Amino acid sequence: MDNFLAATMKAAGLALVICLVMGPVVIPFLARLKARQSIREDGPRRHLAKAGTPTMGGIMIITAILFSSLLVAGDSLEVVACVLVTVAFGAVGFWDDYIKVVLKRSLGLRAREKLGLQLIIGLVFGLILVLMLGRGSEIVVPFTGWVLDSGPFYIIFLILVLVATTNAVNLTDGLDGLASGATLFVALGFVVICTMTSHFRLAVFAGAVAGACLGFLVFNRYPARVFMGDTGSMALGGAIASMAAVTKSEMALLVLGGLYVIETLSVIIQVVSYQLTGRRVFLMSPLHHHFELKGWTEIKVVMVFWLASLLFVVVGLLGYRNLG
């Protein structure tokens, strides 16, 4: 096991270094490409200063995860599968970003196109899990000790988890360093879960995700020099969801990724309330914007949300451990 812990640290360190090396090269390139962030006019006024910041920096995250994972644990089929899911979702996000910020078509991919691609990725990954990795169809319920056999419905469940997680991380990515910092904690949580479940090779992948998030955070912290865009947020969502699927911790992800859940629920509540009553529950959604409009500084919002993410991870791990 000590060898796997060393390998995990090696992958994390390598991913960190790759991001640090790529940043000074990729960020100016994105600026020359005019891949610049557009800002919502109805958002906090101070966000207007972010207009023109290079986006699509998620290619740094994807590259770091890809190379560090495969170099350290590329002989593991489950690692290769998770890497492919990460790259595939990142590619969908990249395509969406490219249409919006480079081709200047504000709508990007149509919703049905994006959803269709996500469904295909989920289906392929589900078949790999069940037919090649022998994952089975069990769903573990945290805090209860229950194990439910979903039978032929497991792949449908997995697709829902993948689609929900990638879009939830995407919604969380709205402030400098918020999504990258929160996902750093979640990835570290999966290092623990992978070790607990004897998926030692997958712990290497989790370490690579954590290292990539930390390296990207150097350039993405306030004031951000680059944003990850859908390229990065969708890739990270795919990485987190794929690890949950392999380790049978999809339900635990609801707690581990509690920050993602809250951010997503705030959007759903806002939309439903406005559609039914014509009134908004929050000043603005996702939730981080609500607190900004309440007068919190961006740094305060991010720090509080990071703390919340860390607490969710700790509680999630305690709930998962109770299954033992």
For position 47, what pLDDT does the model report? 66
For position 101, what pLDDT does the model report? 85
pLDDT, one tens digit per residue, over 107-150 is 778 889 999 999 999 999 999 999 999 999 999 988 887 899 99
What residue segments make up the domains of the chain, in order of their start?
Answer: 2-35+52-254
pLDDT, one tens digit per residue, over 196-228 is 999 999 999 999 999 999 999 999 999 999 999
- Cis preceding linkage at 223, omega within 30: yes
Question: 274, 318, 118: which is closest to 110 by C-alpha?
Answer: 118
Report the sign of the C-alpha dihedral through residues 118, 233, 316, 8, in that order: positive
**Residues 163, 289 contacting (CB under 8 angstroms):** no
pTM, whole model, 2 decimals? 0.94
